[in-house]
Structure 1
Amino acid sequence: MAYVAESATWKNGVYQLETTDPLLGGANGVMNEAIKDLACRTLYLKTEQDKIKNEIQTARAARQASMPASRLWK
């Protein structure tokens, strides 16, 4: 069993199979185009979410480091 190759990219639109498309699978098969589009979008969103999460954690740590110890528990 093979897995779809993913890249963290956002592609406008998701491929829709047409009635005239040959039913081909595989890495470059038309049947996998929509799956690849969605997998890439998912990885892109996950990457962006991780960046935001790291920025929030960094900001929290900086805020706590600059706060006097007496205020940390309030």
Structure 2
Amino acid sequence: CISIEQGVRMLVEISGLKVKIVQESSRMRSYDIHQLHGDASRIGKDLGWRAEITLEQTMKDLLSYWRAKEGVS
């Protein structure tokens, strides 16, 4: 389980860009869910499913896809 911030930091690190991440408190909504955790144990138990691709590889693939789609290197 990772936070949005951790996911953004992972993408920034993978991209190799130097980016300053700023959280604007004025844009935060008081009614947002602060923590939401996924759990794949039931699908693993019921169907035998397990993740084969790591989150880091998924992020790399995501970044590669969008770079190609937008023509950015």
TM-score by length of 2: 0.28
> Could you say which structure has the greater relative contact order, defined with CA pairs below 8 angstroms and 6 or more residues apart?
2
Larger Rg: 1
